[in-house]
Amino acid sequence: MDKKQQYNESDNMENKKNEQLEDYRVDNHDSKLTTNQGVRVSSTVDSLKAGDRGPTLMEDFHFREKMTHFDHERIPERVVHARGFGAHGYFQVYESMSEWTKAKFLQDPAVKTPVFVRFSTVVGSRGSADTVRDVRGFATKFYTEDGNYDLVGNNMPVFFIQDAIKFPDVVHAIKPEPNNEIPQASAAHDTFWDFVVNNTETAHMIMWVLSDRGIPRSFRMMEGFGVHSFRFVNEQGKARFVKFHWKPLLGVHSLTWDEAQKLAGKDPDFHRRDLWDAINNGEHPEFEFGVQILEEEDEFKFDFDILDPTKIWPEELVPVKIIGKMTLNRNQDNFFAETEQVAFHTGHVVPGIDFSNDPLLQGRLFSYTDTQLLRLGGPNFHEIPINRPIAPIHNNQRDGFHRMTINRGNVSYTKNSLQGNMPEADKENGFVHYAEKVEGHKVRSRSESFNDHYSQATLFWNSMSDAEKQHIIKAFHFEVGSVKDKQIKERVVEMFNNVDGQLAKEIAKGIGVAPPSAAPSSTETKSTAASPALSQQNTVMGARTRKVAILAYDGFALDEVQQVQSALNAGGLHTDVISKNLGNITSADGQELEVNKNYATTSAIMYDAVYVAGGAQSISNLMKHKEAKDFINDAFAHAKTIGATNEGVDLLASTDMMNISLAGADTQNELHTDMGIVTIRKPKDFSAFSEAFINGIAQHRHWIRENQDGKMSG
């Protein structure tokens, strides 16, 4: 069978997993209620009793089955990454990677490899909010013809610790404190920062978590990283070190801290709702797959250890080669059956991908299977539909909790003659571990090359824009300012003085302790003083899929709304008309427009921009609405693009925005743009306004409106 027949080109590989899941899907439309044994049920609203006021009878098998299932519906949540959300899709490589790896799913651009991706927060419980400051998980299960490959990544390329034996410690420290189970989903407490100052290898990761990367705008707008150094191995057996990257085509963007906190109350499901809606709208999230490839002979040529999981390989030194694209095009059918029961494991690799000696990775190779044995009820979690490979399974494993396979025959061992020694090992195509030469004494120690804890933290700091640096400082003020023990606060200042002296002084200023006692030690990396790839200011900018709030009331100018709304929709943006009440509002010329949201059901924090349409009566009423002014003030404070036409400019001038210059905004037919504020009066048409407004939204934020104290500059 040739390759095209085997795959039936690109469609069958993608459809095979979907067809496999189809066997387990149930649609209850037009059906009769039954027990789990298939017995039809006459009633499920009253239990069986001895008389209508008598005791319930134990023989009511339907009641017992229904209640027993309910009592056991929950499985233990993940210790970390408990709150997650998943989606299906496919991956296609751009060109054959045969020079680098023999992994079959990285060879043929015509083949669509099905994937399931689970995004998650790390620290909080299943009931915590989406928008907390935290690392995000970005785990991808590839259902390849050679078996499942799991790329278990995060949205940050480094981690807190260098050795997996410390993983229970860092998790215990960052989780709610055991005496009072406070705080939930937050690192802003004593035990975590006590761990930080006593384990200074955390310095680089702390810089990432306290940066804007810790509060992403959406799952669709964050990078993914494999974190560890892995290996590619080709058909000739040649190995190279590799790091994995996911690059979102929408760019890498974040919330502000104030938005993140407010969203936790207004819409704790903000990120999962965003992903769900985007896929349902046909705006399928896309991520390009990139690899950094390093020849084995170059392993020691850098001033950092490439196996250290607290270090990046700066992209300016080891460029990212983009090799394919993943598209998420289908939402889950059932959250529990898919997202909650999916089991990832760094040890799930296929021929052509192998491990390195990264000590954090080595520990994860044990931890994941051990975790699933508890969560998913025994050794057969691979038989749960979402975990089943599309490759056939043949081995001598039998029995155990929740076994679903019905194995025929009486042979379950190797070697055997009763079954012709089947199933037999595949010496030609089977997985062969890379034959790395390993020698050394058995020791509990760490390589001296792992001892540099600060230089890449300094690299990260030096790579940030001024606005990003201010956000990091403010994050330190909240996180460390929440610590009660003054000695820990002082030690944080001394620790991060090794990263940057000015940073340490700014931290000290905000948390009420003395500035650092000594000049900072020199931590400038020998490799590069800054890495532009680390700043979100240098990411892809664009307006596509962004959400715009349109504020209007009775007497609004319908023509203005229609023209601007049409331009926004044509640019791939979404709009909601927002007013005091739900229902319809009436334009100045008597036509009605449906209101999508009212002040009670939405907020400026849920939108990327705000537009205020003209209409004298509408603006006169909006000026009386505190909520309308608050809407604009919030958008202004969060550095978002704000637009207004005709009388709508008057509403802007009545808000906190009066502190900025609106000079020229009263000029007829003259477009006025300043610091992300776009206005025009009495234009001949709205095309120039719409273009400028969309261009402003494409910039994501206008940080020029922030000064060093985080207040709006006037």
The chain-wide mean pLDDT, for the chain, equals 92
What pLDDT band is residue 665 in, cutting at 50, 70 and 90? low
Q: What is the enclosing helix (H) or strand (E) of 643?
A: strand 641-645
pLDDT at 667 over 70: no
Peptide bond into 183 cis (omega under 30): yes
- Lowest-confidence range among 38-52, 183-197, 200-214, 291-305? 38-52
Longest Cα separation, the chain: 93
Structure tokens at 409: 């025959």
Structure tokens at 542: 């664009």
Phi, psi of 232 (to 5 degrees): -95, 140
DSSP state of 234: -
What pLDDT band is residue 3 in, cutting at 50, 70 and 90? very low
Describe the crossing of helices 558-570 and 687-698 by its angle, rounded to 10 degrees.
50
pLDDT for residue 360? 95
pLDDT for residue 1? 45
Sign of the C-alpha dihedral computed for residues 573, 578, 583 and 585 taken in this order: negative
pLDDT digits (tens, 9 = 90+) for 38-75: 899 999 989 999 999 889 988 999 999 888 888 888 89
Q: Which residue has the higher pLDDT, 256 or 437?
A: 256
What pLDDT band is residue 24 in, cutting at 50, 70 and 90? confident
pLDDT digits (tens, 9 = 90+) for 502-560: 999 999 999 999 999 888 776 555 556 899 999 999 999 999 999 999 999 999 999 99
422-449 average pLDDT score? 89
What pLDDT band is residue 708 in, cutting at 50, 70 and 90? very low
> Where do the H-state alpha helices sit in 51-166?
61-71
Which residue in 599, 586, 598, 616 sits closest to 682, CA to CA? 616
Given the residues 81, 204, 271, 453, the one annotated as active site: 81
- Which structural domains are found in the chain, ordered by start? 32-73 (4.10.91.20), 84-387 (2.40.180.10), 463-524+531-538 (1.20.1370.20), 547-705 (3.40.50.880)
Query: Whole-prediction pTM value?
Result: 0.93
pLDDT digits (tens, 9 = 90+) for 96-120: 999 999 999 999 999 999 999 999 9
pLDDT for residue 279? 98
81 catalytic? Reply is yes
Which residue in 611, 539, 615, 525 sits closest to 574, CA to CA? 611
Structure tokens at 43: 């009633």
Q: In one letter, which amino acid is 29?
A: H
pLDDT digits (tens, 9 = 90+) for 127-144: 999 999 999 999 999 999
What pLDDT band is residue 150 in, cutting at 50, 70 and 90? very high
pLDDT for residue 23? 79
pLDDT at 480 over 80: yes
3-state helix, strand, coil in the chain (%, to 5): 35, 20, 50
Given the residues 62, 88, 148, 154, the one annotated as active site: 154
150-169 average pLDDT score? 96
Structure tokens at 600: 């009670």
Say how many residues make up the chain: 714
Q: How far is CA 672 from CA 316, 541, 695, in A?
A: 39, 22, 13
pLDDT for residue 646? 95
What pLDDT band is residue 663 in, cutting at 50, 70 and 90? low
pLDDT at 334 over 70: yes
Calculate what percentage of the chain has a pLDDT beyond 70.
Answer: 95
pLDDT at 580 over 80: yes
- Cα–Cα dist 475/496, whole Å: 14
pLDDT for residue 16? 79
Strands 286-295 and 321-331: antiparallel
Calculate what percentage of the chain has a pLDDT beyond 90.
Answer: 78
pLDDT for residue 714? 36
Q: Which residue has the higher pLDDT, 25 or 187?
A: 187
Q: Which residue has the higher pLDDT, 58 or 484?
A: 484
- Cα–Cα dist 614/469, whole Å: 38
Q: How far is CA 645 from CA 239, 529, 668, in A?
A: 61, 46, 11
Sign of the C-alpha dihedral computed for residues 333, 339, 342 and 345 taken in this order: positive
- Cα–Cα dist 497/338, whole Å: 46
Which residue carries 């390759």 as its tokens? 3
410 catalytic? Reply is no
pLDDT for residue 712? 38
Which residue in 319, 312, 258, 261 sits closest to 294, CA to CA? 319
Backbone dihedral region of 107: left (phi > 0), alpha (psi from -120 to 50 degrees) or beta?
A: alpha
- Cα–Cα dist 525/158, whole Å: 17
